[in-house]
Amino acid sequence: MTQNFPTLKNDRLLKAIRFEPVDTTPVWMMRQAGRYLPEYKATRAEAGDFLSLCKDTDRATEVTLQPFRRFDLDAAILFSDILTVPDALGLGLYFETGEGPKFKKTVRTLADVQALPKVNMATELDYVMKAVTSIRHALGGQAPLFGFSGSAWTLATYMVEGGSSKEFRHTKAMMYSDPQTLHLLLDKLADAVIDYLIAQIEAGADLVQVFDSWGGALAHRQFVEFSSNYNKKVVAGVKAKYPNVPVVVFTKGGGLWLDVQAQNGADMLGLDWTMSLQTARQVLKDNQKQVALQGNLDPATLYASPGDIRKHTHLMLSDAYALGDKTGYVANLGHGIQQWVNPDHAKAFIDAVHEFQL
Ligand code: CP3
């Protein structure tokens, strides 16, 4: 599988994940390619709509690289979506303008789960793999490339609800009234996620991130049983084939369960803004786990003035390094950048991270 990829010139992020010394803190932003950039909106308009943009190799490559022309980023992330997997499972993904994602079909009964096809993620999602390979070449070694997937639990919520949700009524009803059916669905999804991430690594991703965006909606025991256990399975599945490729797990609202998450085998855990990085590092130390951390500036901080963004960012970095380790940390927002943010404010955040003296 030699694809003659350009040599990586900036491996700061990979070093931080391995707890090796870094010259400065690596930084990137979740959703860094997106609607807050006018150039993204222009390229999306050329493609027609969001899904066509994901399927257009050249334009998906272009939007991934757009933030690099403005900011000094230490990682790129594949331009795609977590919902490509349920789409490949036959649910029929579509986006209504102004609304979130929707599916033509839902999965709510044992028969629905049993009817889900076993798909070959590498061939069925060929457009994703083509984008990964194209982006890796186009980056020219400027920064490592993240592949990604949704977690089994987060994907299940979209598939059972048929789209976005606040209460997760149908998914939680299934969880409490018919847990075996939900487990069967999660198990199938975890297998699909493993195949999907492995295919992305083979197409050129340097590392991968699992987005467990809705793990935080669960109660403690249910988080362990229905979310974290499947993240653990996914990490183990990827590591069985590619032990040296870093795997990152980001559970929004997951800080509360950092001790549980520390057992999931990930090299790095993402945090949202609700937890101090100093506390998070302490929890990992208390559990004798050397796991790197990523995060966790409140994305709304980018509505402050550039001077105040710098102050908040430096406070976050002071927390991250308070216990003495000067590595094992990647700066990021605590969730995706919002569409109303001024790109100059995103630049203030990224520059403030690099300015900070370790
Ligand atoms: O981070 C990046 O720059 C890479 C691209 C990326 C997108 N979606 C592009 C996108 C990534 C990593 C995702 C992940 C994703 N998608 C998640 C997990 C991360 C998170 O935010 O918790 C989730 C839950 C989704 C599902 C999804 N896709 C939703 C709920 C929406 C609508 C959101 C909205 O703000 O309208 C999408 C659409 C989507 N995915 C957009 C982008 C840039 C906006 C589409 C557009 O251009 O109109």
Ranges of each domain in the chain: 12-355
Report the C-alpha gap between 289 and 265 in whole angstroms. Answer: 10
User: Contact 303/282 with Cβ under 8 angstroms?
Assistant: no
CA 83–ligand 1 middle distance (angstroms): 9
Report the C-alpha gap between 169 and 154 in whole angstroms. Answer: 14
Q: In sequence order, what are the beta bridge partners of 247?
A: 208
The torsion angles phi and psi of 295, rounded to 5 degrees, stand at: 145, -155
pTM above 0.85, yes or no: yes
Site to probe by mutation for ligand 1, drawn from 27, 29, 30, 31 as the one with most ligand atoms within 8 Å of Cβ, is 31
End-to-end CA distance of the chain: 38
- Coil, helix or strand at residue 148: strand
Q: Whose CA is nearest to atom 7 of ligand 1?
A: 81
Look up 108 and say whether it is catalytic: no
Q: Which CATH architecture has domain 12-355?
A: Alpha-Beta Barrel (3.20)
Look up 44 and say whether it is catalytic: yes
Indicate which residue of 158, 196, 230, 329 is catalytic. Answer: 158
Indicate which residue of 31, 70, 72, 178 is catalytic. Answer: 31
Q: By C-alpha distance, which of 288, 290, 316, 278 is closest to 20?
A: 290
Query: Beta strands 93-95 and 101-103: pairing type?
Result: antiparallel
Peptide bond into 287 cis (omega under 30): no
Backbone conformation region of residue 98, classed left if phi is above 0, alpha if psi is from -120 to 50, else beta? left
CA 115–ligand 1 middle distance (angstroms): 27
pLDDT tens string for the chain (358 positions)? 568 999 999 999 999 999 999 999 999 999 999 999 999 999 999 999 999 999 999 999 999 999 999 999 999 999 999 999 999 999 999 998 778 899 999 999 999 999 999 999 989 999 999 999 999 999 999 999 999 999 999 999 999 999 999 999 999 999 999 999 999 999 999 999 999 999 999 999 999 999 999 999 999 999 999 999 999 999 999 999 999 999 999 999 999 999 999 999 999 999 999 999 999 999 999 999 999 999 999 999 999 999 999 999 999 999 999 999 999 999 999 999 999 999 999 999 999 999 999 9
Give me the sign of the Cα torsion angle 257, 260, 264, 266. positive
CA 241–ligand 1 middle distance (angstroms): 28
Q: Whose CA is nearest to atom 34 of ligand 1?
A: 100
Site to probe by mutation for ligand 1, drawn from 71, 78, 81 as the one with most ligand atoms within 8 Å of Cβ, is 81
The pLDDT value recorded for residue 2 is 60
CA 15–ligand 1 middle distance (angstroms): 27
User: Contact 346/310 with Cβ under 8 angstroms?
Assistant: no
The pLDDT value recorded for residue 113 is 98
Indicate which residue of 12, 36, 40, 44 is catalytic. Answer: 44
Query: What letter would DSSP give residue 285?
Result: H
The pLDDT value recorded for residue 333 is 98
Q: In sequence order, what are the beta bridge partners of 207?
A: 146
Report the C-alpha gap between 303 and 309 in whole angstroms. Answer: 8
Indicate which residue of 18, 35, 191, 298 is catalytic. Answer: 35
Look up 221 and say whether it is catalytic: no
CA 290–ligand 1 middle distance (angstroms): 30
Reading across the β-sheet that carries 292-297, which strands appear in turn? 76-77, 145-150, 207-212, 247-251, 268-270, 292-297, 329-333
Taking CB atoms and a 6 Å cutoff, what residues make up the pocket around ligand 1?
30-35, 44, 50, 77, 79, 81-83, 100-101, 148, 164, 211, 213, 252, 336
CA 250–ligand 1 middle distance (angstroms): 14
